[in-house]
Structure 1
Amino acid sequence: MTDASYRDAIFSTPLDRVASFSFDEQVVACFPDMVRRSIPGYGQILGMLGLIAERHLRHGSHVYDLGCSLGAVGLALAGRLAPEAFALTGIDLSPTMIARARDTAAKESPDHRLDFIEGDIRQVDYQPSGMIVLNFTLQFLPPADRDAVIGKLFDALEPGGVLVLSEKIIARDEAENAWLVERYHDFKRANGYSDMEISQKRTALENVLVPDTLDDHHARLATAGFERVTTWFQYLNFASLIAFKPRAGVNPPAVTHD
C-alpha cells in the first residue's frame, strides 16, 4: 500500500497495565508494518489469493473479504483480475480501517468494484458469492460463535465456491506447540521486536485472540458441508486453508464423529 503508515512501536515502552488488544486508531496507523513483521508469510498468502481467484472464481462473481482491515485482499485480487472479473465487499468492525480501505482502493484500483462497509460479520445477510476470504479474522471471534459463522458462509457460497481461511493455530502436542511459539518469537526478534514488546503484546492478546488447532478447523469446515479442505500454507504457527463447496448436484460426504 502506498498510503502513509508508521512503524509499529505500540508496545515499545513499559506499560503499568497492558490493555486488551483492539484495532484502534493507533493500530490502524501502523498496521501494514505490524502485519509485515508479525505474521509469517502474510505477503505470500495475499499473493496467492489472486492466483486462487484466477483458478476458482467464476467470471463476474462476488467475493467477500471478512475482517478486511485496510483492504489488502481486494487490492491483491485487483492486481491479477480485470475490473469486470469480480466485485468485492470488505467488512470490518473498525470504522478507521474501513475509511482507509476505501481511500486506498480509490487511489490504487479505481476501476475495480471494491466496496468496504463497517459491520459485524456474525450479523451480515450475505449475498451469493464465489469466494470468501477470512484472513486472520475467525480467531478474534468468541469460540462459541465460530461454527455458526462458518455455517453461514457455507450457505452464502455458490455451488463450487471456495472459502479461504487463514489463522494463527495452536498445536495439540505441548512440546510441538512450545517449539513453534519459541521460533515465532525468534521470527519477531529478527524483525526488530524487543522481548518487552513481544511479552506485552502477548499479554494484550490473551483472551482476545484464541487460536484453534488445524484439526479443529478441518473438522468445523467438514461439519459445515465442505467436501474438501486443504491446508495449502503453513509457516510456524500460522496456516491457511482452502475449503471447497460441492458443485450443484454433488452431495457432500457424510460427516462422522468418533
Structure 2
Amino acid sequence: MNDKVFTKPIKKQFEFDEEVAAVFDDMLQRSVPFYKESQKITEFFALKQLEDGGVAYDLGCSTATLLINISRKLKKSATLIGLDNSEAMLEQARKKCEAFRADIELANADILEYEYKEADLFISNYTLQFIRPLIREELVKKISASLKKEGIFIFSEKVISHHPKLNKDLIECYYDFKKEQGYSEYEIMQKREALENVLVPYSEDENIKMAKNCGFSHCEVVFRWANFATFIAIK
C-alpha cells in the first residue's frame, strides 16, 4: 500500500499507529535512502555473527522484514526475537511471518524495561533516535551488558552535522531525494512538523562516543548516505 499519510493536515505528533503500520514498508523504501542496501549489510553481519544456539534481538522490529530476511537465509539454529511497542506494527509482522513461515518470536514490549537473555546480536533500525536523549544511553548500556563478549550491536540512525551550513545542505539533499520518490513539498513539511521533538538525532561522532561510553570496545560506520548511517559496535 502506498504511503499517503501526510497528504492531509496533521492533527498529532508522529506515532506508529494503524495508519502508519499499513503503509510502513512503502514509507521506509521512499523515506530512507538506500534502505535495502543498508539492510543487506545488516543481514550480512547478522548471519556471520549467529551460530547454533545464538540469540538475536531486533529492537523496534516494526513489520519484521529484516528478521524475516535473516530467517530465510539463516543456516544455523538460532533464536530471532523482534520487540516493538506498537501493536499495529506487530499485527503486520505476525501476518508476514505466517506468510513466509518464518520462525520468529514477536513481543509487544518496552525495550527500555525488557529483561533480555544473553545475546550474540542486537539490531536497531532507526529506533534509538526516537528515545529521549536522557535515557538513550541507559538503553545502550543495557544492550552492551546483555551481549556476550565480542557480541555486536548493529544500529542505523539519521544523523546530523554540527556544521550549520553542512547540516542545512544535508537536509536539502535529503529533501531532494524524497521529492524524487514522489513525495510533495506539502507531505515533506507535514512529516517534518509531525516528527518535531519526536525524532532527536545525534551526529556520527556522538553515536560512536555513546557506544564506547556504554561498554563497547569499538564502533564505526559501515554505511552512510548524507544524513543516514549504519553503525556496528563490538563489545
Structure 2 length normalisation: TM-score? Answer: 0.97
Cα distance in 2, alignment partners of residues 243 and 76 from structure 1: 22
More helix by share: 2
Distance 2:158 2:52 in 1: 31
Instruction: Name the structure 1 match of 2:166.
Output: 176
Q: Specify the structure having the higher radius of gyration (Cα).
A: 1
State the match for 1:155 in structure 2.
145
**Which residue does 2:25 correspond to in 1?**
32
Give secondary structure in 2 for the equivalent of 1:102.
helix
Aligned to 2:51: 58
Q: Percent identity?
A: 35
Q: Distance in 2 between matches of 1:175 and 1:208?
A: 23
- Residue ranges of structure 2 left out of the alignment (5+ in a row): none
Work out whether 1:11 is the aligned partner of 2:6.
yes
2:196 matches 1:206 = yes
CA contact (8 A) 1:18 1:200 kept: no
Give the alignment of 1:240-255 within 5 angstroms: 240-245=230-235
* Structure 1 position 95 matched with structure 2 position 75: no
TM-score (normalised: structure 1)? 0.88
Alignment partner, residue 223 of structure 2: 233
What secondary structure, in the 3-state scheme, does the structure 1 residue paired with 2:211 have?
helix
The 3-state SS of whatever aligns with 1:196 is helix
Q: Give secondary structure in 1 for the equivalent of 2:206.
A: helix
In structure 2, what is the Cα distance between the partners aligned to 1:41 and 1:126?
31
Segments of 5+ residues of structure 1 without an aligned counterpart are 1-5, 246-258
Among candidates 206, 209, 217, match of residue 207 of structure 2: 217
For the Cα contact (< 8 Å) 2:156–2:229, is it kept in 1?
Answer: yes
Q: CA deviation at 1:75?
A: 1.1
SS in 2 for 1:164: strand
Root-mean-square deviation over aligned CA pairs: 1.2
Q: CA contact under 8 A between 1:51 and 1:80: conserved in structure 2? A: no
In the aligned structure 2, how far is the partner of 1:29 from the partner of 1:72?
14
Distance 1:131 1:99 in 2: 24
**How far did residue 77 of structure 1 move?**
0.8
Secondary structure at the aligned position of 1:172 is classed as: coil
CA contact (8 A) 1:50 1:79 kept: no
Count of aligned pairs between the two proteins = 235
Report deviation, 1:35.
Answer: 0.5
Q: Equivalent of 1:22, from 1, 15, 28?
A: 15
Among 71, 94, 99, the alignment partner of 1:78 is 71
Question: Equivalents in 2 of 1:226, 1:209: separation in Å?
Answer: 24
Partner of 1:3: none
Q: Name whichever of 24-33 and 47-56 sits farther off.
A: 47-56
